[in-house]
Structure 1
């Protein structure tokens, strides 16, 4: 008994931005696009197979406690790709090991703990799959690879070219964003196309920003609400990939072009690029989350969004998400987990961005 599943590669830097960089003469961007495409094709042709043997292997990796099999808490495993286009080349640090000589390895190891603890302590979730799934990371992937991505099973980080983008493993937000794609995969499993894909990207931005704010002791008021500013190289100083506070203002330069994120449904991107706008149109939902967080706090807003994510489905659209998020706010208010009046705050925030669309 077996079945095949295809898990889309979800990259931090949108392909349309890499395309702009490529047209501007950044050779590393062209090569990154090519390698990302190759990775997608490799996963499509080598989709994971689950069978009885896999189940037995999983059972053997647990220890029995009475009639219940209890898996050891999510373990971190960091691999060094050594500049090759190959995953899990060399295991250099795993759970409980002392610090490595490579600072990239140590950063990923530490940031992974921050993400894991946020899900556990704030959202009451046990790792990506809520079953203690191990956290697998690959650093130094390829040569000057200008991206980071979740491939359906593990995380991959490029070093960047040092000019346009710096090492992707140096950012807590990047790690939190990409691991959140894994959480979405194991909950709503939102299809990576159109509005459902934009929701997929939106939830990653939400948890990436929330985890970074929490770790740095920031509030909704004093956070910058920028996505990706930490991995911008010296040629893009002062820019970011997205702004949750003001979508469409994150960047405007000769290399990347201009930020195309809309902040309102009236400016919704309806074209074919970017998987029908998954990174672009997420700005509309991001703005609504920002407005909600400004009223009730980022962690409280993240709790509502997480509660909703568990109730959404693969083909959910924006209107569906608005309805489910508002209902989550109502239920959490009833259970006294969020302040009274939160549901009205959520509805007002969505109204400000033109949702729900009638």
Structure 2
């Protein structure tokens, strides 16, 4: 089963289900409206998948439409075009600007011409539905709800959300990771990776300066310091009396098994994406500097080298291999990748698990994970220098 039949929405089903149990009648109603609309979308997407269209080339031109709080995309009205004037509608302008920033990121950082690599037009639809607490990529366009003002505010308000959804399009046009189980969790994780990188690139933030939160501007706007997800600390993005606690795991020992259904989050794709998310954060933080440079390049090249059914182990192995190809075997970048995956419970195939034990001894049982990976990198680099020096003495001695 492929992602062709599934809208990739920013709001995980478990959040809406919890909102349905809220003692706030308006929150319950907004969650119900969102779930009913999402169910309608699943049927609509299945019909559209039976008549596949071709992505429209157009030099990555942006066009924003206003749904006027209906769920009919064909009857949405033109609100702003690439060459048109600025709108008086803030949602229209935010969507337009952030689609542009995401487009520019892929062009300038990865030399990619729009979502499909061939100048695909970027169409966005705002004011979708009534209090629709979601945003999604449906394979052709971006769609934004206004939120209910309590669980979510206007979904155009977060660049990490917008870049996340457009990231699904990039994945669809590279490997087409199937949207269920581990491949689906990787699909979700890659979108979070893209979302974080685009935001950090826009703000000029280093990996150390960034907060690594996805959707903090639009999720529970009345509650500060929370977000939909934390790549730095999966499972700790939010913890409220009303909505419970963030259920994302950060290690394979906490892997979540659920049915491959909508109610089961297609095999827990929004849950288990926390594991590769943490691996990317650790890699970027250990290497240092900007996340979109070494770490982002490694992840993007690994994505392109994957296939539709790639699982965590295969992807981890590919990132390790790509790091070696891009930055040499045994480089600090490759060791950062190795240590990051080991930290989330995935050992690189063919690499001694003793490296992980050495890292743990160096950092201490309760040591900081990033410091532990740095220590491992330093150990391997020192070993490489010793080997090089030994070879030099042997050569000099004839």
Aligned to 2:59: 73
Deviations 1:133-182 (A, max 9, x none): 00010000000000000111111000001122100011111110000000
Q: Deviations over 1:163-219 (max 9, x none)?
A: 221000111111100000000000110111110000000000001001101101111
Q: Any unmatched runs of 5+ in structure 2?
A: 350-398
CA RMSD in angstroms comes to 2.0
* Deviation of 1:341 (Å): 2.2
Residue in structure 1 matched with residue 275 of structure 2 by the alignment:
284
Counterpart of 1:213 (choices 192, 197, 200) is 200
After TM superposition, the structure 1 = structure 2 runs for residues 23-62 of structure 1, keeping only pairs within 5 Å, are: 23-25=21-23, 26-47=28-49, 49-50=51-52
Matched, 1:299 2:292: yes
Residue deviations 1:253-279 (CA, integer Å, cap 9, x gap): 133221111111111111222211101
Q: Distance in 2 between matches of 1:170 and 1:264?
A: 31
Larger helix percent:
2
CA distance in 2, matches of 1:72, 1:166: 31
Corresponding residue number in structure 2 for 1:63: none
The residue that corresponds to 2:73 in the other structure is: 87
Q: Who is 2:169 aligned against?
A: 182
CA contact (8 A) 1:196 1:314 kept: yes
What is the deviation of 1:327?
1.3
Give distance in 2, aligned partners of 1:193 and 1:50: 21
Is 1:201 aligned to residue 188 of structure 2? Answer: yes
Task: Within 5 Å, give how 1:90-239 maps onto structure 2.
Answer: 90-239=77-226
1:306-317 equivalent positions in 2, closer than 5 A: 306-317=300-311
CA contact (8 A) 2:341 2:348 kept: no
Structure with higher Rg: it is: 2
**How many Å apart are 1:245 and its aligned residue?**
0.6
Q: 2:231·2:278 contact (CA, 8 Å) conserved in 1?
A: yes
CA distance 1:260–1:22, shift in 2 (3 Å)? same
Match of 1:322 among 303, 307, 316: 316
Aligned residue for 2:125, secondary structure, equals strand
CA contact 1:333–1:340 (8 Å) conserved in 2? yes
C-alpha separation between the residues in 2 aligned to 1:113 and 1:12?
Answer: 19
Deviation at 1:7, TM superposition (A): 4.1
1:356 aligns with 2:343: no
Kindly state the Cα deviation for residue 236 of structure 1 after the two structures are TM-superposed. Answer: 3.3
2:253 to 266, 270, 288: 266
Q: Deviations over 1:59-82 (max 9, x none)?
A: xxxxxxxxxxxx652100100000
2-side partners of 1:221 and 1:315: how far apart? 33
Corresponding residue for 1:19?
17
More strand by share: 1
Q: Distance in 2 between matches of 1:96 and 1:233?
A: 35
CA distance in 2, matches of 1:234, 1:346: 35
How far apart in 2 are the matches of 1:225 and 1:193? 24
Count of aligned residue pairs for this structure pair:
336
Task: Provide the secondary structure at the position in 2 that maps to 1:230.
Answer: coil
